[in-house]
Structures are given as structure tokens and as C-alpha cells.
A and B are shown apart, each in its own frame.
Chain A
Amino acid sequence: ILNVEQSPQSLHVQEGDSTNFTCSFPSSNFYALHWYRWETAKSPEALFVMTLNGDEKKKGRISATLNTKEGYSYLYIKGSQPEDSATYLCAFISGGYQKVTFGIGTKLQVIP
């Protein structure tokens, strides 16, 4: 069983605050790390696909970093807006086969 952990599990921030959360995963047999946003009543949607140690990706106010040697990824949201409220899932993809293991997610609520 692969251990993919996310913290915190729940987060409330004020509109305009910046925030970040963590995904930790096994440091061996790494193929890729994905971040997804899952809004209520919608399908999870990919934010970032990260494959190389040291990768940094950015999409608007959201960015992510990857450290495969120590087995963690950070997701940052700058100047949170109410529309950022969602559950953010990370998914670890093991090398050699297509097993996708999701973390439990971080549920973010941005208070106007």
C-alpha cells in the first residue's frame, strides 16, 4: 500500500490571504505527481502534472513545487479568492505501471 499524505486536511482562510499545503509521497519508484482541484458537484480537474525533481509549475495565482528526493510537493495559492474554495487532491503515479494513488485531499474554504 502506497502512503500518500496531505496536510492539512481542512483549511479556512480569509479572502486575500496566501496559503499553502503539502503532499508527501514515497521517494522511491517515482513517475509523476499530479495536483487536482475538486469543486463540489463537479469532476476533479487537473491543475499540474509534475515529473522532474525541482519542477515548479504556475497557473495564475496557483503554483506548485516538487521534491522527489525527499518525497513532497507544495501547492501555493496567492491572494486566495472565494472561487478557490475546493478540495485539492494530489496523486502519486508509480513508475513502471499505471497505479494512481490519491491523497485524502485538503479542503480549502476561502471566507469573503
Chain B
Amino acid sequence: DTEVTQTPKHLVMGMTNKKSLKCEQHMGHRAMYWYKQKAKKPPELMFVYSYEKLSINESVPSRFSPECPNSSLLNLHLHALQPEDSALYLCASSPLTGGRSYEQYFGPGTRLTVT
């Protein structure tokens, strides 16, 4: 299995809702990433987990809460979001070993709309 899966594909939520995004990979990769991508902008790194520990938090507001229950699974819990948080949320994983250790394997993304 050489793919990263993300669910749901689309999500519409109100500003008072709580929802979660899910990302899964079964390639044995030991780093997993959340990115936020707005139209006409590059993917912007939010969080990195390596060996199931949070290693990078790019000063992301606390209304975004990541979780890595095991090496294959990465969640992003969402609470009290703002309309400006509407974006494509991409998950990626990397092997962390070998010559291509930080190569990003991306999922298809979740298109989030906050109303």
C-alpha cells in the first residue's frame, strides 16, 4: 500500500462545531505532517509528528489540535473555527530513513469550509 488516505474529502462546519480530519498511511513511514493550503498559495506547514511525537508546531492556533494515536494514523481535531480557516488540508508522510527520508507522500486533502 503506497498511498496516504484522508477522510472526509469535503467538510462543511459551523463556527461552533467540533469535527476531526483523519489521515492514514501503511507504508511504515515515521513522520506525518499537516499542511494548510489556501488558493494560489503554497502548502503551509502546520504540524509535524515524528516517531509519534509532536516535533513541529508552526504557531498554529489552539482551535486546531493534532493527535497521532499510532504510527499509521494522524488526526486533526477542529473546534471553534473561523471562516478564514476554510482551506484545503493536506496530510503527508515521510519515511525518515534512507536517501529520500523527508520525501513527502501526500494524501488527496480535505476541502474544509467554515460557515
- Seen from chain A, the residues whose Cβ lies within 8 Å of a Cβ on chain B are 4, 31-32, 34, 36, 42-46, 49, 51, 89, 91, 93, 97-105
B108 contact from A42, A99, A103, Cβ within 8 A: A42
Given contacts A43-B4, A51-B99, A105-B42, contact A99 B56 (CB under 8 A): yes
24 contacts between A and B (CB under 8 A): A32-B102, A34-B102, A34-B103, A36-B104, A43-B90, A43-B106, A44-B43, A44-B106, A45-B106, A46-B103, A46-B105, A49-B100, A49-B103, A89-B42, A91-B104, A97-B56, A98-B50, A98-B56, A99-B45, A100-B45, A100-B104, A102-B42, A102-B44, A104-B41
- Chain A residues with CB under 8 Å of B100's CB are 46, 49
A43 to B99, CA, bound (A): 22
Between B4, B103, B104, B108, the greatest number of chain A beta carbons within 10 A of the residue's beta carbon is seen for B104
How many B residues have CB within 8 A of the partner chain?
A: 25
Q: Which 9 A-B pairs have the closest CB atoms?
A: A102-B42, A43-B106, A49-B100, A44-B106, A104-B42, A93-B102, A102-B43, A46-B103, A43-B108
A100 to B100, CA, bound (A): 13
- Seen from chain B, the residues whose Cβ lies within 8 Å of a Cβ on chain A are 4, 31, 33, 40-45, 48, 50, 55-56, 90, 94, 99-100, 102-109
- Chain B residues with CB under 8 Å of A32's CB are 102
Q: What's the least CB distance linking A86 to chain B, in Å?
A: 13
Find out whether the CB atom of B107 lies under 8 angstroms from the CB atom of A43.
yes
A97 to B105, CA, bound (A): 18
A31 to B96, CA, bound (A): 13
Q: What's the least CB distance linking B100 to chain A, in Å?
A: 5
Find out whether the CB atom of A101 lies under 8 angstroms from the CB atom of B104.
no
Given contacts A45-B106, A49-B100, contact A98 B42 (CB under 8 A): no
With both beta carbons as reference points, the residue of chain B lying nearest to A94 in the complex is identified as B102
Q: What's the least CB distance linking A51 to chain B, in Å?
A: 7
Between B99, B100, B103, the greatest number of chain A beta carbons within 10 A of the residue's beta carbon is seen for B103
Given contacts A97-B55, A100-B45, A102-B43, contact A34 B104 (CB under 8 A): yes
